Structure 1
Amino acid sequence: MDNKMILPKKDFLKARDFILTNARMIERRLFEFHFANGNINGVFHAVYAYRNSDGGFGHGMEPDTASPESQPLFSIMALETLDEVGYLTKEIILNDFMPYFESITTEKGGIPWMFRPKSTYPCEAHFKTVKEWAALSTTAPLLGILEKHEIDIPWMKKAEQFVWSEFERIKDKHAFCYLCVPRWLTFLKYTKSQDKTKKTINDLKNWISNNEIICKDKSDEGWGLYGKPHSLNYAKSSESMLYSLFTQETIESDIKELINRQKEDGRWDTWYGISEGTKLEWAGIQTLWVLKALKNYGRIEK
């Protein structure tokens, strides 16, 4: 195992400098938390800068839109980020988040993925045609975080029924989406219905294995980006519920490719962005994601 590839210290410092000079404050604060013993209060303040008076989060928390309006997905991202750094408490979830989520819950019991912008601010075209019905990939992580924090409120009952019925309905349709699947896993990890979880995880593993979802062509420019995932998108650490799906050789090969894809200025790039500025913001998000994955596997030179 001595041939494990490691990101050299000088290249880690390049990535750090790219984040500190190009990324948004939220990524800079998260970098500080994960790699420089940063204070969780800094992350809290960066996240709450995106919060609106209705309790939802907007203002391009995902850089594909400049719209200030609250969006369910952005509000989930805010919740996940605070959970990532250990900031969440029952009180914060119930007082700062649930009133907004309950206000946008549909008759089916779930919350939508996105709402179409009512403003004329710049955004990617797909925002304008988004389906506004309840979605698995926002409702599931919210439920998972509520269960994790041992919260029990009436909202959860119908939401859980919606989530299980949605797993049944969509089957393998979104297994390719490495933005969705980790959010499902948050629910599957913490739900009390662990008997149903086992079946769902097995189904998920079969779909990812048998549907040629993993992009094996490392010469593809889009390798590791949306629609062309690699193993680390599903198993960002050896603790992941889907880690056993991949061989050690696959994980090793993808870590090596990931390290090799770092650009000269320290970034890991994407093709996303509606402006030069948001392209840098997306690169900041991607660079932080890669560094966290490499840290999880112990692949950054000390």
Structure 2
Amino acid sequence: MILPKNNYLKARNFILTNARMIERRLFEFHFENGTSEGVFHAVYAYRNSDGGFGHGMEPDTASPESQPLFGIMALETLDEVGYLTKEIILKDFMPYFKSITTEKGGIPWMFRPKSEYPCEEHFKTVKEWAAISTTAPLLGILEKYEIDIPWMKKAEQFVWSEFERIKEKHVFCYLCVSRWLTFLEHTKSQDKAKKTINNLKNWISNNGIICEDKTDEGWGLYGKPHGLNYAPSTKSILFSLFSKMTMESDIKELISRQKDDGRWDTWYGISEGTKLEWAGIQTLWVLKVLNNYGRIQY
């Protein structure tokens, strides 16, 4: 099944009229020959003087405060468009990440807000200890760009110990898994990485992680993943985990879920405005996935 040209144009128009600047710039980069420099400027609009990123880079919070996760999102986005360099990582990112490193060697996922701004409730109760979901992708990016700094040694020990400790506990979160894979793909400890990847495949296959019920409104959203969440392209490490029939079925269902105004929706959002922002994020993600599988008519 292919997304018809008219439906693609509806999605394009939804992004360009409703999404945040960062999603609009990313859309232009991926689909309309936009520049990576444009994405860079959109990303750095969220940057603070402490070197961290805030200002609602994830729409679940309106707080301007720097959050570790937002720094990881910034790194991932610059890497996605080919703008990231060793110099940018070391100069613009690592001073902040070093400043928030815990005694265990990892960096937290989030910090509780210190200022009064609207946010989802989970921000107010977040555990501020070191997290694999932020430390692992940071290490993976450092390895990818052939960076070797003392900070990495203890951080890597922390990540491997966390893989052993948490096992399959967070495998339902496909966003976490994709960030683990950044580390597992690029770490020099490939024997350990291959074993961990095999464990991931077993956990995803055998623990009822994949949402089989396509009548569920939450299908494909947080906590109810489908195959494309784990394998957003044929080059994905976990692509071999899914049959051709499964992926065809997921692509068909994904295309069918487009709304009349061109969006793919989510249930996220602390306001009507942030629901639109999340819809912009989701719509861009769907278009990138369909493009990766050659399923858009232009």
> What range is the shorter-chain TM-score in?
over 0.9
Aligned to 2:123: 127
Structure 1 distance, partners of 2:86, 2:214, is 44
Aligned to 1:60: 56
The correspondence of residues 129-148 of structure 1 with structure 2, limited to 5 A, is: 129-148=125-144
What SS does the corresponding residue of 2:174 show, helix, strand or coil?
Answer: coil
Aligned to 2:20: 24
What SS does the corresponding residue of 2:175 show, helix, strand or coil?
Answer: coil
Uncovered stretches (5+) of structure 2, i.e. residues with no partner: none
The correspondence of residues 222-301 of structure 1 with structure 2, limited to 5 A, is: 222-301=218-297
* 1:59 shift after superposition: 0.2
Aligned to 2:41: 45
Structure 2 distance, partners of 1:26, 1:80, is 13
Aligned to 2:76: 80
What SS does the corresponding residue of 2:246 show, helix, strand or coil?
Answer: helix
Structure 2 distance, partners of 1:239, 1:228, is 22
Q: May I ask how many residue pairs the two structures share in their alignment?
A: 298
Structure 2 distance, partners of 1:53, 1:140, is 25
Q: Deviations over 1:194-219 (max 9, x none)?
A: 00011100100010001000000000
Match of 1:162 among 158, 161, 166: 158
Aligned to 1:201: 197
- Percent sequence identity over matched residues? 86
Structure 1 distance, partners of 2:155, 2:65, is 24
Q: Deviations over 1:231-280 (max 9, x none)?
A: 00000001111001100000000000000000000000000000000000
Uncovered stretches (5+) of structure 1, i.e. residues with no partner: none
Pairwise CA RMSD of aligned residues? Answer: 0.4
Aligned to 2:210: 214
Q: Deviations over 1:74-122 (max 9, x none)?
A: 0100010000000011110000000000000000000000000001100
* 1:179 shift after superposition: 1.1
1:108 and 2:85 aligned: no
Structure-2-length-normalised TM-score: 1.00
Kindly provide the amino acid, as one letter, of the partner of residue 263 in structure 2: R
Structure 2 distance, partners of 1:241, 1:194, is 14
Aligned to 2:176: 180
Structure-1-length-normalised TM-score: 0.98
